[in-house]
Homo-oligomer: A and B are copies of this chain.
Amino acid sequence: MRIVSISDADDPRLAPYVSIRERDLTGRSDGRFIVEGKVTLATLLERSLFEIESIFIGQSRLEPLSDILALLPQDVPVYVAPQNVMDEVAGFPIHRGVLACARKGEPLALDALLEAETLLVLNGISNHDNVGAAFRNAAAFGAGGVLLDEQSCDPLYRKSIRVSAGAALWLPFVRDGQGKDHIGRLQNAGFDVWAMTPRATAAELHQLKPSAKTAILLGSEGPGLEDALIDRCRPVRIAMASGFDSINVATAGAIALAHCHTCSVTGSA
């Protein structure tokens, strides 16, 4: 293992870890992303498609993490520093004492998702918690991938990864282009696209049997999907109590995905 002791917060090798929160907000243009915490690091090493550039851990974490760090390629540096140096670099207290920097690499092409039986499709989801939760739900119910339009936020944002329980690190995704183009591509590839909407005229989820290939399309909280998008798809609604038809967008996705998963397992709707 390539352990590198660091004592100076200004060490240039730690540049990717400087002021993490500020750079979360402004976005990174260097093709890198940061993960934090032991469980997420394990997922990054065991299941992800991403190339790890370095690890940055607190001195006291070296021993407890030895099992996980043994999975690292030999040439990846493990920067080790006292906790106060780590906090100074990151700009806030890194309680878990575990950070890693990885490269996003070449984005997948949309074609890579089209073999899936079930896809989750996100349109204009600009809240990182919702994107992370959507990935967690997609993974839990066996979706083959997630397709996001370019207005949706980055699943490899630190908080999205955490909320996704690491699913954003291994579930294939594409984030590019516009919802209306996605719908056409999906339909051409044989997908029945279910646009989730509270429209009264929409089909009720529990009465639908998923096709061999089903895509669940979710719009942003608040405005929801545009009519122009819904009209190109099969509008589907989740039956709710009258007077309070409001659930979180990721939760709506979970209910639709759970229905598809159950139907695929039992062979019935």
Report if A241 contacts B (CB, 8 A). yes
Q: Which of A87-95, A104-112, A248-256 contacts B (4 or more CB under 8 A)?
A: A248-256
Chain B residues with CB under 8 Å of A258's CB are 238-239, 255
Complex: chain B residue closest to A245, CB-CB: B140
Nearest B residue to A170 by beta-carbon distance? B244
Please provide the chain A residues from 232 to 269 with a CB less than 8 Å away from any CB of chain B in the complex.
238-241, 244-248, 250-251, 254-255, 258, 261-262, 265-266
Cβ A140 vs Cβ B265 within 8 A? no
A139 touches B254 (CB 8 A): no
Closest chain B residue to A142, Cβ basis: B241
Residue in contact with A251 in the complex, picked from B206, B246, B250, B262, CB distance below 8 Å:
B250
Q: Say whether A128 faces chain B, with CB atoms less than 8 Å apart.
A: no
Q: Is the CB of B140 within 8 A of A240?
A: yes
The docked-state distance in angstroms from the alpha carbon of A239 to that of B139 is: 12
> Could you say which interface size class chain A belongs to?
20 to 34
**How far is B258's CA from A240's CA once the two chains are assembled, in angstroms?**
8
Q: Which of B133, B141, B165, B251 contacts A137 (CB 8 A)?
A: B251
A140 touches B246 (CB 8 A): yes
- Do the beta carbons of B251 and A139 come within 8 Å of each other? no
- A136 at the binding interface (Cβ < 8 Å): yes
Q: Is A195 on the interface with B (CB-CB < 8 A)?
A: no
Chain A interface SS verdict (over half) = helix
Q: Does A167 contact B (CB under 8 A)?
A: yes
Asked if B250 and A265 make an inter-chain contact with CB atoms under 8 angstroms apart, the answer reads no
Contact among B239, B245, B247, B262 with A254 in the assembled complex (CB-CB below 8 Å): B247
| B244 contacts A167, C-beta separation under 8 Å | yes
A247 B137 Cβ-Cβ under 8 A: yes
- Which has the most chain B C-beta neighbours within 10 Å: A133, A167, A240? A240
Q: Which residues of B contact A251 (CB under 8 A)?
A: 133, 137, 250-251, 254
Q: A141 and B246: CB pair below 8 A?
A: no
Closest residue of B by beta carbon distance from A132: B248
Q: Tell me, rounded to whole Å, the shortest Cβ–Cβ distance linking A258 to chain B.
A: 5
Known: A133-B248, A250-B251. 14 other contacts (CB 8 A): A133-B251, A137-B251, A140-B241, A140-B246, A140-B247, A141-B240, A142-B241, A167-B244, A206-B266, A239-B258, A239-B261, A239-B262, A247-B254, A251-B251
A-B pairs, top 7 by smallest CB distance, nearest first, are A142-B241, A139-B244, A206-B262, A140-B247, A140-B240, A251-B254, A255-B258
List 8 interface pairs A-B (beta carbons < 8 Å), by A numbering.
A139-B246, A140-B241, A140-B245, A167-B244, A206-B262, A239-B262, A251-B251, A254-B255
